Amino acid sequence: MRRIALKVEYDGADFRGWQLQPNGRTVQEVLEQAIKQATGEHSRIHGSGRTDSGAHAEGQVAHFDTDTNIPNERIRGALNHYLPPDTAVLAACEVGDDFHSRFHAHSKLYRYRVLRSSVRRPLRRRVCLRESRPLEVEPMRECARILRGEHDFASFGMETHRRSSTVRTITISEWEEHGDELHYLVEANGFLYRMVRILVGTMLHVGLGKMDVAEFRRILEARDRNQAGPTKSAHGLTLVKVVYPPGMLDWE
């Protein structure tokens, strides 16, 4: 038995998220179908984490076990032959049987794209949240800086298990300007359910002048989801990369 790790890119617009569901197409489903067609085996694939319905990935990491004799260098091509156009394996490598894509992940980096435009832009409607009103970027950047470090992010998450810890450590939190787009980049050792989308929704309230930076800080300290801003749509969100300890994956 071999364990294979994959780096996967997908356009999430037509998926109901990562995890298998009885009532919708998912990334896990199409990957497992491709593995079955390429190897003849029913293999369960495990991702580094779930992405929301409509969210995208440039560097999702997953693993599966197989008895196939397909050489390592041919696994990527074999799976891509059967995958649909909105999903691709970018890299594949054999790992130890104790490797787990979720439990060994050190951190994850996400990007959220906001398009500043008074008119709709059809070519970016599946990958950007459009904001037609003017945004003050510097207060949003100040809020992003406040989030760095270890905090209790209960105000910005929707945890399904009340006993789960809501403390996370953010190492990167910044807004970048790219022409008419704003990109929020955030890396952390873990994220609460819908955390990035709620953070973006709350910081956009600051950018629109609906609250100030001091109020944003109070919301963080309050640990109360009801005080934070709205959950923004998933289509602006992309999982950029998953970080593992050095040397754990050959493609890094």
Please identify which of the residues 52, 67, 98, 250 carries the catalytic annotation.
52
Known catalytic membership, residue 11: no
Helix/strand/coil for 8:
strand
Residue range 91-104, pLDDT digits in tens: 999 999 999 999 99
What are the CA-CA distances from residue 214 to residues 54, 102, 166, 170, 191 (Å)? 32, 36, 22, 20, 23
Q: How many CB atoms lie within 10 A of CB 23?
A: 5
- 107-240 shares the fold of 2-104: yes
User: Angle between the 137-146 and 213-222 helix axes, to the nearest 10 degrees?
Assistant: 30
Pairwise CA distance, residues 14 & 235, whole Å: 10
- For residue 252, the model assigns a pLDDT of 52
- For residue 250, the model assigns a pLDDT of 85
Model confidence, pTM: 0.95
> What stretches in the chain show pLDDT beneath 50?
none
Tokens 């209790």 -> residue = 152
Q: How do the domains of the chain map onto residue ranges?
A: 2-104, 107-240
Pairwise CA distance, residues 114 & 131, whole Å: 7
107-240 topology per CATH: Alpha-Beta Plaits (3.30.70)
The CATH class of 2-104 is: alpha beta
- Phi–psi pair at 116, nearest 5 degrees: -95, 100
Residue range 65-79, pLDDT digits in tens: 999 999 989 999 999
Q: How many CB atoms lie within 10 A of CB 115?
A: 19
